[in-house]
Structure 1
Amino acid sequence: MKNLEEKLRLYLVTNSDGLEESVFLRKIEEAIKGGVTIVQIREKDRSTREYIELATKVHEITRRYDVPLIVDDRIDVAMAVGAEGVHLGQSDMPVKMARDILGENVIIGATTKTVEQAREAYESGADYLGVGAIYPTTTKVKTVLTSVDTLKDICASAPIPANAIGGLAKDNLQILKGAPVAGICVVSAIMKAEDTKEAAAGLRRAYEELAV
């Protein structure tokens, strides 16, 4: 995708836990209005059919705002709903295999925690990297902390954009100062906010101030 780096600036990873579907969808739309530039739908516990049904509704929203939709883990779901991309962790389908299946026009992101993983992801055809967790997270995803020094090394090791992820919030982004990341990935700082639009706007401002 052209200008992918710009699209990565404020990357929302969704969490529907405890939310009625209408509230969940409204939060995503409000977050986009507040400045989210890309959305990843992440559903670990839904059946394939339920995942497809929800992803279809999310995609209707993201398309309206020309925001790419990335599906976490599930290449089949991404293909079924015509999502713009998939994001793969270290225990998911290998990036090279996913690239062979999806072709060149689908965005593929890869979670990396080491320079070696970053280089392998790049050489296998990944378009961007998600690096972290920078801080401990409250999501159900198992996390291993990544130092900012390692983040900087990863950014230097692969010529594709890298985003920081893991416990990031408006008031703790300073830790990333000097790291040449394309953007930040957030879950709780937006999904758990009372005012989703303002939370996204605040994060966008804080990141852009950091990047100056």
Structure 2
Amino acid sequence: MSLLNREVFWPPADELTEVAERIRARLGEWPAAESRWRICLTAPELPQADDLIVFTEHEQHDADIERLAKSGAAVLEARDGRVTLRRGDARFALEGEWSDDWLSALAAFLDCNFEPHDALTLALAWRAGDENKDDAWPADFANFPRVADLPAAPDGGFPACPDRLGLYPVLPSADWVERVLDLGVSTTQLRRKTTENADLQREIARSVEAGRRRDAQVFINDHWREAVAAGAYGVHLGQEDVQTADLNAIAKAGVRLGLSTHGYYEMLRALHFRPSYLALGAVFPTTTKVMPTKPQGLARLSRYVQLLSGRVPLVAIGGIDAKVMPDVLATGVRSAAVVRAVTEAPDTAAAVSSLQKMFAKS
């Protein structure tokens, strides 16, 4: 375990380190941390890139916080039931209650190779004594913090979609949507990469109509205005799109909403808006899209499903093909998005049939 024999807290804090090691020992095997974070309980004169500098609610050093936030180090403020993490221009704010062991838990989750904002989310969900459970991993949703400073969710949320969305091909054209729906797939997404508005409107209109004819769930990626205008079943948006899309207009139109997530913090952020489903990814490396985060892997996917199953429909996405599909479904997720496993298959019909059979067995 890499917490041993290295500086985890600065100045050295033997009691915190002892608790961190005890927690880490109960979290299981995880890849070695890519960054060796040092949790600074006092601001160092020369902060380093892998320093996470903590200010508690008993301190008031706003000028120092601003200076340190610009130094390349991460800065964490914990005050009055609110914890704010700053990394460069990024800001992550969480509210809730936490245990006295939260800093030790933060060190343990950082050592499991989680990004600081996800490690912080898990640390705030940790409760003293959790290390004595058979499964110590935080899995009680009621203990997780809330993401702060978000705009209000649309009244009533978004329409529901089936909990088992099943095989979910993400396709580049209406031709592909029609072809795959004809093979018996009931959920698909049009991800049209074009800047030509007329082409986009035609492709969306054809895809939406194909879904209506076959009583299928067809989602439109990104282009929510055109999807609403065409009366689409649903739209799929990324985390960054939540800042710019008119979620109230989407909900008012009765269009379902799927949101991409890439870890615990983004899952909590997305759930605030009460979407129709969450996409969890990227599970594996993918070449179809530039991803903002490293691959999640099956171990993380399994933990995400454990936390959120039954709360919202979940879709695994990213680098999934026929070879790994059984392992993906073994996590308990009930839908998986695929791209090249369908669009680059030598025999599309055979590929779809094989993938569909995997879902029937799960």
Q: TM-score range by the shorter chain?
A: 0.7 to 0.9
Aligned AA (2:167): L
Equivalences for residues 63-78 of structure 1 within 5 A: 63-78=212-227
Residue 3 (structure 1) shift? 5.4
The corresponding residue for 2:318 is 166
Q: 1:36 to 1:94 in 2, by over 3 A?
A: farther
Q: Does 1:131 align with 2:283?
A: no
Aligned-pair identity (%) = 27
Between the aligned partners of 1:163 and 1:2, the Cα distance in structure 2 is: 14
The corresponding residue for 2:239 is 90
Aligned AA (1:5): D
Q: Does 1:199 align with 2:351?
A: yes
Q: Does 1:46 align with 2:192?
A: no
TM-score after normalising by structure 1: 0.84
Alignment match of 1:122 (pick from 271, 282, 299):
271
Q: Does 1:145 align with 2:302?
A: no
Alignment check: 8 A CA contact 2:256 2:276 kept: yes
Q: 1:147 to 1:118 in 2, by over 3 A?
A: same
Greater mean alpha carbon deviation, residues 43-52 or residues 157-166: 43-52
Structure 2 segments unaligned to the other structure (5+ residues): 1-158
Residue 44 (structure 1) shift? 2.6
Aligned AA (1:14): L
- Is the radius of gyration larger for structure 1 or structure 2? 2
The corresponding residue for 1:15 is 172
**Partner of 1:60: helix, strand, or coil?**
helix
Between the aligned partners of 1:208 and 1:60, the Cα distance in structure 2 is: 27
Alignment check: 8 A CA contact 1:11 1:186 kept: yes
Residue 157 (structure 1) shift? 3.4
Between the aligned partners of 2:184 and 2:286, the Cα distance in structure 1 is: 22
Work out the number of aligned pairs and report it: 199
Alignment match of 1:5 (pick from 141, 158, 163):
163
Residue 133 (structure 1) shift? 1.5
Runs of 4+ in structure 1 off by over 6 angstroms are: none
Structure with more helix by fraction = 1
**Partner of 2:324: helix, strand, or coil?**
helix
Between the aligned partners of 2:295 and 2:161, the Cα distance in structure 1 is: 29
Between the aligned partners of 1:57 and 1:84, the Cα distance in structure 2 is: 13
Between the aligned partners of 2:211 and 2:240, the Cα distance in structure 1 is: 27
Structure 1 segments unaligned to the other structure (5+ residues): 17-23
Residue 2 (structure 1) shift? 5.6
Alignment check: 8 A CA contact 2:259 2:270 kept: yes
Between the aligned partners of 2:268 and 2:225, the Cα distance in structure 1 is: 26
TM-score after normalising by structure 2: 0.51
Alignment check: 8 A CA contact 1:89 1:110 kept: yes
Q: 1:125 to 1:45 in 2, by over 3 A?
A: same
Alignment check: 8 A CA contact 1:70 1:86 kept: yes
